[in-house]
């Protein structure tokens, strides 16, 4: 590999270096996605999905073209027989993305090195298998360095157990980050 000038893109990320720090976005990728599926003329939505909607197996729904569905989602739990309800959710998510295509993440040069982690859980929210999804993000100072969303492997019978699982996951991530910073001589 050779370096030819200042980094401006990496994989599907656009990178802009300024005096304040590094701005990273996926606006080109998002605009291409919206254009490919002809959703650029549609009104964007404020949320990716309605909180009251329960997405799951839809045995009575109308089947849709699997190739189209796979190309829009890249992967999904509903690949075997996607229905119109699944496709409408994917379209809504892309319309949501159309409203936030210019959002960026700033990695500030003027940040401290404090490690901070946040976590959240939706207790047994999945209507099909009743498993919870945990999420979290970790910061070094004001810079987001790690985020995750994961469906838990087992069904938890109480909110306390679910919260312990996600806290354990978040703490494990923070310890790994602390070790990584230590490896680079940062305390």
- Return per-residue pLDDT of the chain as tens, 187 residues: 566 778 888 888 899 998 888 899 999 988 888 888 877 777 888 888 877 777 777 788 888 888 888 888 876 555 677 888 888 888 888 889 889 999 999 888 887 888 888 877 776 666 667 777 778 888 888 888 888 887 777 676 666 776 777 777 777 877 887 887 788 777 6
> Cα separation of 63 and 49, whole Å?
21
Kindly list the domain boundaries of the chain, sorted by start residue: 1-110, 112-183
Residue 39 tokens, joined: 């959703």
Does residue 83 contact residue 58 with C-beta atoms inside 8 Å?
yes
Paired residues of 80 in beta bridges: none
Element (DSSP H or E) covering residue 148: strand 143-151
Q: Give the predicted TM-score (pTM) of the model.
A: 0.67
pLDDT of residue 157: 67
Nearest to 138 by CA among 177, 105, 107, 179: 177
Number of H helices, E strands in the chain: 4, 7
Q: Extract the tokens encoding 137.
A: 């993000």
Let me know if 54 is exposed, middle or buried by CB neighbors in 10 A (0-12, 13-18, 19+). Answer: exposed
Rg (CA), the chain: 20
């Amino acid at each position: 590999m050779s370096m030819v000038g200042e980094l401006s893109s990496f994989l599907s990320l656009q990178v802009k270096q300024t005096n304040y720090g590094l701005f990273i976005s996926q606006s080109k990728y998002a605009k291409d996605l919206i254009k490919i599926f002809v959703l650029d003329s549609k009104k964007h939505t404020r949320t990716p999905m309605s909180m009251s909607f329960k997405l799951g197996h839809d045995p009575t729904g109308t089947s849709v073209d699997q190739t189209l569905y796979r190309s829009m989602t890249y992967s999904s739990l509903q690949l075997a027989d996607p229905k119109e309800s699944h496709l409408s959710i994917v379209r809504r998510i892309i319309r949501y993305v159309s409203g936030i295509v210019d959002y960026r993440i700033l990695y500030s040069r003027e940040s401290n090195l404090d490690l901070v982690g946040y976590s959240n859980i939706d207790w047994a929210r999945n209507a099909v298998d009743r498993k919870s999804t945990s999420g979290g993000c970790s910061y070094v100072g004001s810079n987001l360095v790690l985020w995750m969303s994961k469906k838990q492997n087992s069904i938890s019978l109480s909110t306390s157990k679910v919260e312990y699982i996600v806290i354990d996951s978040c703490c494990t991530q923070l310890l790994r980050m602390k070790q990584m910073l230590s490896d680079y001589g940062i305390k």
